[in-house]
Structure 1
């Protein structure tokens, strides 16, 4: 089942939207990526990935999941505590088991970040089993 092609299940154009209101725990200070009280880049990345996961959730075949394999992220504007950001993911390309998403993160009319997130369709049980083996 791990060899299943992603384009059999996930058509390009598939998308999802995820929203976050920035709290103290989302700041660069809190996540260790800086010393300013604004939305930290690691949280922007997590939000972008959450949108890609949400895009595939309703169509995910039993026993399968996707895992992140590559990310390109441009974090352009700061978002203060209390600000709300929205990540909109769109499946741009399917190549075998690989899914390439384009994600835009906005704060109202402003583009806060843009990302390209690549995920791979895998057999959940086999993946966890391999990850759990001693090195």
Structure 2
């Protein structure tokens, strides 16, 4: 098992269920910011796969996100997570979202912490 996360890239297609109107975060049929954030977090989780061992997972602890362009239904969105800082259990990623033509639709940063699943759930 590696101790360093790796860059990650995932591709999603904007569907009707991914829109602001469907998620209640706006009234337009374009990619909703909450869905975009979920996709970006999925990329950070994928980047952490080499780090997270048996019985462990990661939890998001901080997000900064600028959603700068609209994505209509049917458009492919490529989301990426690039590790910029690792310190023990804490991992920070630069995240980006773009259309396949290269148009940037989002930039930001996501911080995640690796936790023991049983210990974490035992505190609830």
On whether the aligned pair clears a TM of 0.5, the verdict is: yes
Query: C-alpha separation between the residues in 1 aligned to 2:23 and 2:3?
Result: 33
- By how many angstroms is 1:62 displaced? 1.1
Contact conserved, 1:99 with 1:119, CA < 8 A, in 2? Answer: yes
Q: Could you list the runs of 4 or more consecutive aligned residues of structure 1 that deviate by over 3 angstroms after TM superposition?
A: none
Contact 1:48–1:115 (CA<8 Å) still a contact in 2? Answer: no
Root mean square deviation of aligned Cα = 1.4
Aligned to 1:33: 25
Query: Deviation at 1:81?
Result: 0.3
Structure index of larger Rg = 1
Aligned equivalent of 1:119: 112
Counterpart pick for 1:24 among 13, 16, 19: 16
Pair 1:76-2:68 in alignment? yes
Aligned residues: 123
1:53 matched to 2:63? The reply is no
Q: TM-score, normalised by structure 2?
A: 0.93
Separation (CA, whole Å) in 1 of partners of 2:21 and 2:3:
37
Q: Which runs of 5+ in 2 are unaligned?
A: none
**Could you state the TM-score of these two structures normalised by the residue count of structure 1?**
0.86
Task: Tell me if structure 2 keeps the 8 A contact 1:106–1:112.
Answer: yes
> Partners in 2 of 1:115 and 1:52 — Cα distance?
12
